[in-house]
Amino acid sequence: MNNIISIRNVKKQYHLGKTIVEALRGINLGIEAGLYYSIIGPSGSGKSSLLNIIGCIDVPSEGKVVLQGRNIEGFTERELTRIRAEKIGFIFQNFNLNPILTAIENVAIAMRFIGKSKKICLQNARAALDQVGLSHRTNHYPNELSGGERQRVAIARAIVKKPSLILADEPTGNIDTKTGHEIIRLLRKINEKQNTTVIQVTHDLEIADLSDKLFKLRDGVIVD
Amino acid sequence: MFDYAIKNILKRKTRSVLTIIGIMVLINLVIVISGIVSYQKRVMHEHASAGVGKIMVQSMLAGINYPTASINLKESLADEILNRDDIQDPISGKVIYWQIEPPPYPNEPPQLLITGVEIGKEAAFTGSISHQTRAAFGSANFSNSIFELPIIMGHQAKQFLEGKQRKQFNIGGGFKLLDTNFTVIGFLEPSSDKVVNNSLIIPLSIAQKILEKQEFISSVILFPQRIDDKQYIIEDIRQKYPKLNLVTDDTISRNAEEGIKLFEQMVGAISTVVILGAAILILTVMLITIKERTREIGVLRAIGASNKIVISSILWEIFILSAVGSVLGGLISGIVLRYFLLENLFNFWHILKYMPLAVVLTLVSGIIPAIRISRILPVESLRYE
Ligand SMILES: Nc1ncnc2c1ncn2[C@@H]1O[C@H](COP(=O)(O)OP(=O)(O)O)[C@@H](O)[C@H]1O
Ligand SMILES: [Mg+2]
């Protein structure tokens, strides 16, 4: 019962015009603190939908997401924002860095949202960039960085606030295999050193092998 | 999020510059138009106060304007009105006004006019209860003049004519007016009465002759012996001559107020429309910007930015654009008011008064973008373009 998140019979439907897409058809799972999880499954199986719901970026159409002992349905928008700001670090497949901000500013801004001073934010951002091995790129804009470097900036942005949970949606999807493996090793290191729970979505079985636990998804349900 | 707003503004240079120019032009328009109106208002009050203590009697047709445009009061009737004990004889007298150049702005006296005054009673026209306009050079009255056709120039009249004829006038020099050769005997110092400033003053009888208005005048000016007598004199003349109009400083200022009120309302309406136009300009630009930035804002929301934070960044952006536009508009309008009008209408406080418009613009044009932004959900960060 040391689950930080429990998902009970979660369903997710999308409305595409008149047709309804059933992305998740009843998911049950529990996430324990400090473990490294992988979600694998073919394209379109609902991996991103699930991750977004876990990350409080999206809400389920049906079912319960229990966080800190409370169903998230009961959270106000402000509380959800606070949880995203303080507890969750999100890493996107396509990086989602802000093109008008430098690497260090992209990282620092994530800390501004938890009410830290600009100076503290920049200090921590520098440390986070150091941790992902990018201390020599702090003042570069995203379009001056390689794919691997961009994803490292995104990881720095996710870890700068020391979240309890890191969610990574195909973090290696847009970068070459070798760099991808480096990124995963980095995430694993963060997981081990800081005891941060990590949930990653991936296609790559080799990458999935690194994790403590594996969820296989097919057509919106977890198989074995 | 002030720094973030600045970055966004600098990053989208063309958009920012064009928006700022738009605001600048519109704010400039508002400040210049209202600058002209408030200048006029000031002039009118000065104009009205120049006549303090005077009572002017003129024909019904002449209306209640000062100076009146008509010369149709019988001189014999004027003499009858002047024949009373409770007025100061030396400074009460008959005058003729004749416009030569029309007013530069509506509601102002003519830019140049002929004023005919009785010899020895020049002060009825050039004086007020508190101040007598003296000669800067030469003489301010005709009594000792040895010339047959003497003329005294008001301060502005002299400058206006010198500018126009590209020559300097001298005391004792000749000056041709309506085919008559006058001799200049005096230049007046500046007066708070614009009519005096703009007048070419000649003896009444000569004015009547060259204007072919023998036996007629424009107006009788009366100065009460004691200020307390003023009301009694007004009542008395009104009773004896119900068909004549009486003009006092109150009438002049009331008249002026009314004349300018319509103008002011019009300018108020124009300003409101122009400011609204500026607000719509910003609104449009910001809505497009938000549309472009939906994903960026979604990402901010996904990584923990509150609604308040993303809204404040957009409002800062709007405020900075409005403020820069307003300040530049203020600068340009200062230059326009100072150098590009017939007169120097520059007034720092007037321009400063319009600077808070930046805040008004932000509030008016910020509401809809703020609502739009608050509707952007964190899931937008996941949209793939
Ligand atoms: N915003 C959306 N609107 C409509 N359909 C969607 C949306 N997001 C995902 N889907 C659909 O839901 C299903 C699951 O998608 P997703 O969770 O992205 O799968 P995965 O990440 O495993 O590829 C797919 O069929 C996809 O087309
Ligand atoms: Mg996906």
Domain span holding position A163: 3-68+76-222
Question: Is the domain of B213 the same as that of B347?
Answer: no
Q: Is residue B317 part of a domain?
A: yes
Q: pLDDT tens digits, residue range A75-114?
A: 898 999 999 999 999 999 889 999 999 999 999 999 999 9
Nearest CA in chain A to B305: A113
Chain A interface test: which of B12, B382, B385 (most A C-beta within 10 Å): B382
CA of B285 to the centre of ligand 1 (A): 33
Number of domains in chain B: 2
pTM: 0.77
Q: Given CA atoms B298, B299, B303, B309 in this order, what sign does their dihedral have?
A: negative
Q: Is residue B338 part of a domain?
A: yes
Number of domains in chain A: 1
Select the residue of A90, A100, A157 nearest B7 (Cβ to Cβ).
Answer: A100
Query: How far from the centroid of its chain's Cα atoms is residue B229's Cα?
Result: 33
The confidence score (pLDDT) of residue B54 equals 84
- Whether residue B203 is preceded by a cis peptide bond, meaning omega within 30 degrees of 0, is no
Question: Is the domain of B105 the same as that of B214?
Answer: yes
The confidence score (pLDDT) of residue B249 equals 77
Question: Is the domain of B110 the same as that of B11?
Answer: no
Question: Is the domain of B59 the same as that of B171?
Answer: yes
Q: pLDDT tens digits, residue range A6-61?
A: 999 999 999 888 999 999 999 999 999 999 999 999 999 999 999 999 999 999 99
Last-in-domain residue among B173, B199, B223 = B223
Dist CA B55 CA A204 (whole Å) = 102
> What ligand 1 atom has the least distance to the C-alpha of A41?
22
Dist CA A122 CA A101 (whole Å) = 13
B239-256 burial, b at 16+ Cβ within 10 Å, e below that, comes to eebeebbbbbbebbbebb
> Please, what is the end-to-end C-alpha distance for chain A in angstroms?
21
Kindly state the tokens that stand for B172. 């004792």
Question: Is the domain of B179 the same as that of B73?
Answer: yes
Residues in chain A within 8 Å Cβ distance of B304: 81-82, 84-86, 88, 110, 113-114, 161
How far does A213 lie from chain B, in Å, by closest CA? 25
Of B76, B67, B125, nearest to B97 by C-alpha is B67
Contact across the interface for B379 and A100, Cβ inside 8 Å: no
The confidence score (pLDDT) of residue B50 equals 67
Which residues line the pocket of ligand 1, CB cutoff 6 A?
A 14, 16, 21, 23, 41, 43-49
Among residues of chain A, what percentage have pLDDT more than 70? 100
Nearest CA in chain A to B380: A57
Question: Is the domain of B312 the same as that of B180?
Answer: no
Mutation choice for ligand 1 from A16, A18, A25, A48, CB with most ligand atoms inside 8 A = A48
Chain A interface test: which of B15, B303, B312, B385 (most A C-beta within 10 Å): B303
Name residues 274-303 of chain B within 8 A of A (Cβ). 295-296, 299-303
- Output the tens digit of pLDDT for each of chain B's 385 residues: 888 999 999 988 999 999 999 999 999 999 999 998 888 777 777 777 666 778 889 988 877 778 888 898 999 999 999 998 888 888 899 999 999 999 887 667 899 999 999 998 888 888 876 678 888 898 888 988 889 999 999 999 999 999 988 888 999 988 888 888 999 999 999 988 889 999 999 999 999 999 999 999 999 999 888 878 888 999 999 999 998 888 887 777 777 777 778 888 998 999 999 999 999 999 999 999 999 999 999 999 999 999 999 999 999 999 999 999 999 999 999 999 999 887 788 989 999 999 999 999 999 999 999 999 999 988 877 765 4
Q: Is residue B241 part of a domain?
A: no
Contact across the interface for A81 and B306, Cβ inside 8 Å: yes
Mutation choice for ligand 1 from A16, A49, A58, CB with most ligand atoms inside 8 A = A49
Helical ranges in B169-306 per DSSP H: 194-197, 204-210, 229-240, 249-292, 294-302
The confidence score (pLDDT) of residue B330 equals 96
Q: Is residue B26 part of a domain?
A: yes
Question: Is the domain of B185 the same as that of B284?
Answer: no
How far does A211 lie from chain B, in Å, by closest CA? 24
Q: Is residue B327 part of a domain?
A: yes
Q: DSSP secondary structure string, A141-184?
A: -GGGS-HHHHHHHHHHHHHTT--SEEEEESTTTTS-HHHHHHHH
- Look over chain A and give the mean of its residue pLDDT values, rounded to a whole number: 91
Q: Is residue B246 part of a domain?
A: no
The confidence score (pLDDT) of residue B105 equals 73
Q: pLDDT tens digits, residue range B67-120?
A: 888 898 999 999 999 998 888 888 899 999 999 999 887 667 899 999 999 998
Question: Is the domain of B185 the same as that of B314?
Answer: no
Contact across the interface for B302 and A85, Cβ inside 8 Å: no
Question: Is the domain of B285 the same as that of B375?
Answer: yes
Domain span holding position B217: 54-223
Nearest CA in chain A to B309: A113
C-beta of residue B199 within 8 angstroms of C-beta of residue B154? yes
The confidence score (pLDDT) of residue A193 equals 92
Question: Is the domain of B73 the same as that of B187?
Answer: yes
B307 touches chain A (CB under 8 A): yes
Question: Is the domain of B63 the same as that of B39?
Answer: no
The ipTM, to two decimals, is 0.93
Question: Is the domain of B86 the same as that of B194?
Answer: yes
Q: DSSP secondary structure string, B99-161?
A: EEE--SSTTS--SEEEEEE-TT-HHHHHB-SS-B--EEEE-S-STT---SSEEEE-HHHHHHH
Name residues 124-183 of chain B within 8 A of A (Cβ). none
| pLDDT exceeds 60 at position A149 | yes
C-beta of residue A184 within 8 angstroms of C-beta of residue A199? no
Which residue's CA is the closest to the ligand 1 atom numbered 2? A14
A112-147 burial, b at 16+ Cβ within 10 Å, e below that, comes to bbeebeeeebbebbbebbebbebeebbebebeebeb
CATH number at A44 reads 3.40.50.300
